[in-house]
Amino acid sequence: MLIRYKKSFKKIAMGLLSYMPQEKELKTLKETMECYESNDDWQLYLWKVDEDIVGVVGVVIEQKKVEILHIAVNPSYRDEGIGTKMIAEVKKTHPDLNVVPGEAISRFYEKCTKEAGKGSRL
């Protein structure tokens, strides 16, 4: 289930975001969190399985476009379709906007989209 980020989830969100190669440096990671916490156009979502937070997806809204900047899943929960489901839920959450991948997530996004063409994913 996709839920909106709130401050009480900060540590778990930072831990998940740090799986992204560009967020390995603590300084960068803190700056990223600051963007999500202080700009209304930057929106962070978490993926919950039962009581556990196991995934994160972050977007920035620009006019008619939703750009996905971050996506990461706890390694223990990978290859179970959670990353794909998070992208599908972001699309459902913003039905009137064009959802596009940021550079850092383009490889995974393309894989999801390609397989959707075969009817199996998004």
Ligand X SMILES: CC(C)(COP(=O)(O)OP(=O)(O)OC[C@H]1O[C@@H](n2cnc3c(N)ncnc32)[C@H](O)[C@@H]1OP(=O)(O)O)[C@@H](O)C(=O)NCCC(=O)NCCS
Distance from C-alpha of 54 to C-alpha of 94, rounded to nearest angstrom: 22
Count of residues touching ligand X (by CB under 6 A): 18
Q: Measured from the CB atom, is 64 or 117 closer to ligand X? A: 117
Taking CB under 6 A as the binding criterion, the range among 24-32, 36-44, 60-68, 78-86 that sits at the site for ligand X is: 78-86
Distance from C-alpha of 16 to C-alpha of 42, rounded to nearest angstrom: 17
Q: Measured from the CB atom, is 61 or 122 closer to ligand X? A: 122
Taking CB under 6 A as the binding criterion, the range among 28-36, 58-66, 69-77, 91-99 that sits at the site for ligand X is: 69-77
CA of 109: how far to CAs of 31, 52, 75, 84, 103, in Å?
24, 24, 18, 8, 10
* Binding status of residue 72 toward ligand X by CB under 6 A: yes
Structure tokens that stand for 73 in this block: 């899943």
Interface with ligand X (CB under 6 A), residue from 18, 35, 81, 88: 81
Distance from C-alpha of 43 to C-alpha of 7, rounded to nearest angstrom: 13
CA 55 to chain CA centroid, nearest Å: 7
* Binding status of residue 78 toward ligand X by CB under 6 A: yes
Contact positions vs ligand X (CB under 6 A): 19-21, 71-73, 78-84, 104-105, 107-108, 111
